[in-house]
Chains A and B, each alone.
Chain A
Amino acid sequence: MYEGIVQDLIDELGRLPGVGPKGAQRIAFYLLDADPVDVKRLAEVLTEVKDKVRFCSTCGNVTEEEQCRVCRDPRRDPSVLCVVEESKDVVAIERTREYRGRYHVLGGAISPIDGVGPDQLRVRELMSRLSDGAVTEVILATDPNLEGEATATYLTRMLRPIGLRVTRLASGLPVGGDLEYADEVTLGRAFEGRRNVDD
């Protein structure tokens, strides 16, 4: 045990995800040795991020303004809406530079075992967003795992009666992978979603 504030710092760092007691100690001593200017900047960013960052009032993405960058951008196509689980997924899709529509961040996936049902996600906000008729296509881009699939199934059931075009991201073989190592579910999906090469 260290004295006073050094131990406090180690304890606080140790509460971060993926940081164990030894790692926390290493980071604490790194900070003690580091340039005071750098440490001050880190401390300022930490306070600033909690003060300034909030969730976009329209899509639920993280932002510093009332609305996020994508929702403010008039060049984005308002008729296509991509539903994702987390803000991280927005960043991943933006990196592809393929998509020009808008987003809706659910804030997780339906997982009854963790006590997360549709009411704990931003499903109601999604439905009210769709009520004005501006959106004609909803792309379900939840993770291709069990929880993501179940969330997509639930949303499909809710969206179908509205008469929108509902699509799901394709899943199949990863680019750069080997066919022989593909598991049955993935390979099955790849067969299901096969397409004509002359299109």
Chain B
Amino acid sequence: MALYRDEAIVLRTQKLGEADRIITVLSRRHGRIRAVARGVRRTSSRFGARLEPFSHVDLQLAEGRSLHVITQAESLDAMTMTIGADYPTYTAGTAMLEAADRLAGEDQEPAVQQFLLLVGGLRVLAGGERDPSLVLDAFLLRSLSVAGWAPSFEECARCGAPGPHRSFSASTGGVVCPACRPPGAAAPAPETVRLLSALLTGDWEAAGATDARTRRESSRLVAAYLAWHLERGLRSLTHVDR
């Protein structure tokens, strides 16, 4: 069995057999990997808490036929307990992991940008200085952009007419001008569109100055936009404690 090393973020874990787990990670060079961690559920396991979701780890893996096997794990940044210690942060973080899992593409296909985005997003989340809900929405918008579904919040998503525009349509890909507006398009408040644009570009000063109502409306639009492109929404998004 060929061995290889990679740096990765643990996305999710599933129980396997008596004491093992299947660990899904997003790695820097190999994209999404599903690997078995043997004996990880035993209290005497040498992996300990290193393979819990949110952990940033340096892994050594052995190639297997369908699942790879984790042979060694070293922590690079143990964000697990910082994120798990605050409920709103935990629920937002879980939604980020699920989104990364869904948007990373095929197994073993490199997704460097998604990886870097996730590492950055989780660090900000663990830092605890920004509203977890805003961090989640910013991550979702950028992750969708990296996956090739960048929304437009300035120009009309169909004809490119310069904005600002008042209507938003998830199926068209962002804000739309009155001429291109499809039936059933949402009409968000102008502040909401400005917040979405700030989240996408990383203007935290403008994003931080918004009120709760604007944030709720923008979260709803992000969820609708995500659900449209992923065909089914994220399960964890309904549990986010905003």
- B contact set with A: CB distance below 8 Å: 12, 17-18, 43-44, 46-50, 52-54, 75, 78, 80-81, 83-87, 90-91, 94-95, 97-98, 235-236, 238-240
Per the bound structure, the CA–CA distance linking A146 and B75 in Å amounts to 15
Are B95 and A112 neighbours in the complex by a CB distance under 8 Å? yes
A182: which B residues are within 8 A, CB to CB?
48
Per the bound structure, the CA–CA distance linking A174 and B85 in Å amounts to 22
A125 to chain B, nearest CB (A): 19
| A18 contacts partner chain B, Cβ-Cβ < 8 Å | yes
Are B235 and A183 neighbours in the complex by a CB distance under 8 Å? no
Per the bound structure, the CA–CA distance linking A185 and B161 in Å amounts to 52
Instruction: Give the residue of B18, B48, B81, B94 whose beta carbon is less than 8 angstroms from that of A112.
Output: B94
Per the bound structure, the CA–CA distance linking A137 and B178 in Å amounts to 61
Per the bound structure, the CA–CA distance linking A176 and B90 in Å amounts to 32
A146: which B residues are within 8 A, CB to CB?
52-54, 80, 83-84, 90
Chain A residues 95-137 with CB under 8 Å of chain B are 110-115, 117
Chain A residues 147-199 with CB under 8 Å of chain B are 149-150, 153-154, 157, 174, 176-177, 181-186, 188-189
A51 to chain B, nearest CB (A): 28
| Known A112-B94, A113-B98, A150-B87: A174·B49 in contact at CB below 8 Å | no
- A contact set with B: CB distance below 8 Å: 18, 110-115, 117, 144-146, 149-150, 153-154, 157, 174, 176-177, 181-186, 188-189
A195 to chain B, nearest CB (A): 20
A188: which B residues are within 8 A, CB to CB?
78, 81
Per the bound structure, the CA–CA distance linking A114 and B130 in Å amounts to 26
B94 to chain A, nearest CB (A): 4
Are A183 and B240 neighbours in the complex by a CB distance under 8 Å? no
Are A153 and B17 neighbours in the complex by a CB distance under 8 Å? no
Per the bound structure, the CA–CA distance linking A185 and B98 in Å amounts to 23
Are A112 and B44 neighbours in the complex by a CB distance under 8 Å? no
Instruction: Give the residue of B47, B85, B91, B98 whose beta carbon is less than 8 angstroms from that of A149.
Output: B85
Instruction: Give the residue of B18, B78, B85, B97 whose beta carbon is less than 8 angstroms from that of A18.
Output: B18
A189: which B residues are within 8 A, CB to CB?
81
Residue of B nearest to A119 (CB): B239
Per the bound structure, the CA–CA distance linking A111 and B236 in Å amounts to 8
7 extra A-B contacts, CB within 8 A, seeds A112-B98, A154-B87: A18-B18, A111-B94, A153-B85, A183-B49, A183-B75, A184-B50, A185-B50
B55 to chain A, nearest CB (A): 8
A186 to chain B, nearest CB (A): 5
Are B48 and A114 neighbours in the complex by a CB distance under 8 Å? no
B91 to chain A, nearest CB (A): 6
Are A113 and B81 neighbours in the complex by a CB distance under 8 Å? no
Per the bound structure, the CA–CA distance linking A181 and B81 in Å amounts to 19
Are A112 and B85 neighbours in the complex by a CB distance under 8 Å? no
Per the bound structure, the CA–CA distance linking A176 and B238 in Å amounts to 42
Are B18 and A117 neighbours in the complex by a CB distance under 8 Å? no
Q: Which one of B18, B53, B90 has the highest number of Cβ atoms from chain A below 10 Å of its Cβ?
A: B90
Per the bound structure, the CA–CA distance linking A117 and B237 in Å amounts to 11
A176: which B residues are within 8 A, CB to CB?
44
Are A115 and B43 neighbours in the complex by a CB distance under 8 Å? no
A181: which B residues are within 8 A, CB to CB?
46, 48
Instruction: Give the residue of B46, B78, B83, B97 whose beta carbon is less than 8 angstroms from that of A113.
Output: B97
